[in-house]
Amino acid sequence: MRLAPRTNRRILLPVAVVAALAAAASGAAALLPDSSAAKSAAAAADGLPHTAVEVSPGACGHGWDRPSAGRQVFDLRNTSSDPAEVYLTDTSTGALLGEVEGLAPGVQRPLQVVLGRGSYAFRCLPEDADAVTGPTVRITAGPATGGPAVLPVTEHDLIPPTLEYQKWIGQGLGALVGKVDALRDAVDSGDLPAARTAWLTAHLGYSRLGAAYDAFGDLGDAVDGLADGQPDGVKDQGFTGFHRIEYGLWHHQSADQLRAPAQQLAEDVRKLRDQWADARMEPADLGLRAHEITEDTVTFELTGHNDYGSGSSLATARAQLDGTAEVLDRLRPLLEPRDPELPGIDQWLARSRSDLDALGHDGSWPAPDKLTDNQRERINADFGGLVERLAGVAAVCDVRRTS
């Protein structure tokens, strides 16, 4: 599997973690005249109380002068000349109750939250400028607690699990060298049935290393690239690696035709192992990768897009679930106090594994297009639910500015 290209983006914390942040993300930006901002506390179409709040270095949080508990909307208007991010924070814990990112100058966007008794402040983070914290606002009446909040994660928090994960990847690459050597040796000997078995073992071993793909660089493309985009498709000299050998093994190519690709794969995997000691994964990406592995499994494996004849897409999907679980295990100390959805993620992961295992017999799985309607619906529902929940992991682990 190759991760689909990503733009540099943030995922806002979802409803299950912080309801207010999802509401902020869904609000449409609008240019409003000054008079509209002044009247925003009036009854709105949504039936909730609205408060106009200013976003600027000199007046961050100004306008919130009648604090009250309950569900409400802050209409955040950037009155400065630069884009800004805005956080609503619990000043006693530092937890975030809501955020709006990319608030352009002159633009107003809503932030819906549920507040209980406590102390709160807006934090304005202009682009290319220091953060500014607005006045502390205290709510002394109403429910004791409000909506969910989450402690922000720093890059320092993510360094230990990333280093631990890198070490695990190194061990996996060491084991992968032996599996690919076995594939090469089977091809060299002309035993193509043994080569097919060895191919699947080796490719599943590689597929479990999902969160590291972005750090593999060009060698990752050489090892597990697709024929997509190659001028001559599967016949192109630039089509190498696991899928090149897969195509040959399941399209009646001879051992002579496969010896060079198998030898090249063995050399490339050995280079990957040797270079990994100097590789550096970006700590801020680890949470996002947990989501991306499963998202790309849906796109490329459950559709059969990456199948070059072996029919092993569901086996690969199963291996990638193991890869997702490895990332979650490294992040678990950070997630347990922050993400109330973590037990649900574990349940959906177990369900997805179990339903895939039920389709496998003697180490083989049917191709996706051979599933019955009920089987396909079940697997699609499993992965759809898991992808949705893993978006929360990416959001919780998203590093947010502190200064």
Tell me if 392 sits within 8 A of 120, measured CB to CB. no
Least confident of 21-30, 82-91, 142-151, 267-276: 21-30
Q: How confident is the model over 6-32, as a mean pLDDT?
A: 36
Per-residue pLDDT at 355 exceeds 70: yes
pLDDT digits (tens, 9 = 90+) for 292-338: 999 999 999 999 999 999 999 999 999 999 999 999 999 999 999 99
pLDDT at site 40: 46
Residues 332 and 370 in one domain: yes
Annotate 271-340 with DSSP letters as a single string: HHHHHHTT----GGGHHHHHHHHHHHIIIIITT-TT-SSS--HHHHHHHHHHHHHHHHHHHHHHHTTT-T
Q: Is residue 317 part of a domain?
A: yes
Residue 237 lies in a domain: yes
Clarify whether residues 28 and 108 are in a common domain: yes
The mean of the pLDDT values for the chain is 88
Q: Do 286 and 327 belong together in one domain? A: yes
pLDDT in the model for residue 210? 82
Q: Is residue 402 part of a domain?
A: no
- Pick from 330, 317, 287: nearest CA to 166: 330
Question: Is there a single domain that holds both residue 177 and residue 87?
Answer: no
Count up the domains in the chain and report the number: 2
Please indicate, yes or no, whether residues 180 and 79 belong to a single structural domain of this protein.
no
Q: Would you state the pLDDT for residue 361?
A: 86
CATH number of the domain bearing residue 93: 2.60.40
Q: Residue 37: give the domain boundaries.
A: 19-139
Same domain, 180 and 81: no
Asked if 241 and 377 sit in the same domain, the reply is yes
Residue 28 has pLDDT above 60, yes or no: no
Q: Do 47 and 188 sit in the same domain of this protein?
A: no
Q: Which of 73, 106, 139 is the last residue of a domain?
A: 139
In the listed set 113, 139, 165, which residue is the last one of a domain according to the structure?
A: 139
Percent residues over pLDDT 90 in the chain: 78
- Tell me whether residue 50 is in a domain: yes
Same domain? For 276 and 357 the reply is: yes
> What pLDDT does residue 30 have?
31
pLDDT digits (tens, 9 = 90+) for 82-114: 999 999 999 999 999 999 999 999 999 999 999
pLDDT digits (tens, 9 = 90+) for 224-251: 999 998 999 999 999 999 999 999 999 9
**Mean pLDDT value across residues 7-36:** 36
Looking at residue 44, its pLDDT comes to: 62
The CATH number of residue 244's host domain is 1.20.1420.20
9 in any annotated domain = no
Residue 60 counted as domain residue: yes
pLDDT grade, residue 215 (50/70/90)?
confident
What integer pLDDT is reported at residue 272 of this predicted model? 95
Q: Where residue 31 falls among pLDDT bands split at 50, 70, 90?
A: very low
Is residue 133 one of the residues assigned to a domain? yes
Q: What is the pTM of this model?
A: 0.82
Degrees to nearest 5, angle at CA 206 with 200 and 210: 130
Say if 4 falls within a structural domain.
no
Statement to judge: residues 109 and 160 lie in one domain: no
276 lies in the same domain as 389: yes
- What's the token pair of residue 61? 């949080």
Residues 75 and 201 in one domain: no
Final residue of a domain: which of 112, 139, 166? Answer: 139
- Higher pLDDT: 24 or 117? It is 117
pLDDT (tens digit per residue) in 256-283: 999 999 999 999 999 999 999 898 899 9
- Going by C-alpha positions, the residue among 295, 395, 330 that lies closest to residue 19 is 395
Query: Would you place residue 10 in the very low, low, confident or very high pLDDT band (cuts 50, 70, 90)?
Result: very low
On whether the CB atoms of residues 89 and 60 are closer than 8 A, the answer is no
